[in-house]
C-alpha cells in the first residue's frame, strides 16, 4: 500500500521541522552565551591588557596578523604567540617583544617586512600583556597547529 504525502502532512513537516530547528538554535545560543565568561577569562583583564588592545587597534595589527583566526593572513597568527615565543616566561616574552619591535623592519631577502611603529617601552609591554591574555582564551584548539 503506497501512501502519498498530503498538503497537510507537508505543512506539518515544514512547520514542525522549522520549530525544531529554532528550538535547537535557541538552546545552542543560550549555551554559548552562558559559557563565554568561562572561555574568555574576562575576569583577568587588567588595565595593561586594555592598553595593549588599544595599541593593537591603533596600529592596525589585524591588517596583517590574525588573532584567533580573525584578521588578515599576511603575517603570522598571534593568538598563540606567547606559547610559541615565551612559553610560560612572561618577562622573557616582554623582552622578546621589545627586541622584535625595535628591530623592525628586518632586511631579510624574500621576507615580508613589518613596519617600524616606534612604540614606547610601555606600549610594547602593554601589547605583550594583551597577547599573553589572548593566549589564555579557550579558543577550542584554534589554531590547529603551533605556528598558526
What are 70's strand-pairing partners?
Answer: 67
Residue 37 has pLDDT above 60, yes or no: yes
pLDDT tier at 46 (50, 70, 90 boundaries)?
very high
Query: For 14-40, what is the mean pLDDT?
Result: 93
Distance (Å, whole) CA 69 – CA 79: 8
Q: What is the pLDDT of residue 48?
A: 97
Grid cell 606600549 in the structure block, residue: 123
Task: Please give the model's pTM, rounded to 2 decimal places.
Answer: 0.78
Band the pLDDT of 148: cuts 50, 70, 90.
low
**Separation in Å, CA 61 to CA 12, 15, 36, 73:** 51, 47, 24, 11
Angle between helices 121-135 and 47-58 (to 10 degrees): 100
Task: Give the three-class secondary structure for 79.
Answer: coil
As a whole number of angstroms, the distance between CA 69 and CA 65 comes to 9
Give residue 2's pLDDT band: very low, low, confident or very high (50, 70, 90): low
Cα distance between residue 77 and residue 103, in whole Å: 19
Task: Check residue 91 and give its pLDDT.
Answer: 95
- Burial tier of 11 (Cβ tally within 10 Å: 0-12, 13-18, 19+): exposed
Partner residues linked to 67 by β-bridges: 70
Q: What band does 124 get if pLDDT is binned at 50, 70 and 90? A: very high
Amino acid at each position: 500500500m503506497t501512501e502519498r504525502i498530503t498538503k497537510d502532512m507537508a505543512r506539518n513537516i515544514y512547520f514542525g521541522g522549522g520549530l525544531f530547528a529554532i528550538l535547537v538554535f535557541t538552546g545552542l545560543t543560550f549555551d554559548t552565551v552562558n559559557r563565554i565568561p568561562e572561555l574568555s577569562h574576562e575576569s583577568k583583564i587588567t588595565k595593561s591588557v586594555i592598553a595593549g588592545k588599544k595599541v593593537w587597534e591603533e596600529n592596525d595589527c589585524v591588517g596583517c596578523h590574525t588573532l584567533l583566526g580573525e584578521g588578515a593572513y599576511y603575517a603570522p597568527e598571534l593568538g598563540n604567540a606567547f606559547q610559541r615565543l615565551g612559553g610560560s616566561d612572561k618577562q622573557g616574552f616582554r623582552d622578546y617583544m621589545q627586541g622584535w619591535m625595535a628591530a623592525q623592519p628586518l632586511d631579510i631577502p624574500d621576507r615580508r617586512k613589518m613596519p617600524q611603529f616606534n612604540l614606547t617601552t610601555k606600549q610594547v609591554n602593554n601589547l605583550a600583556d594583551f597577547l599573553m591574555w589572548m593566549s589564555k582564551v579557550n579558543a577550542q584548539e584554534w589554531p590547529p597547529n603551533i605556528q598558526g
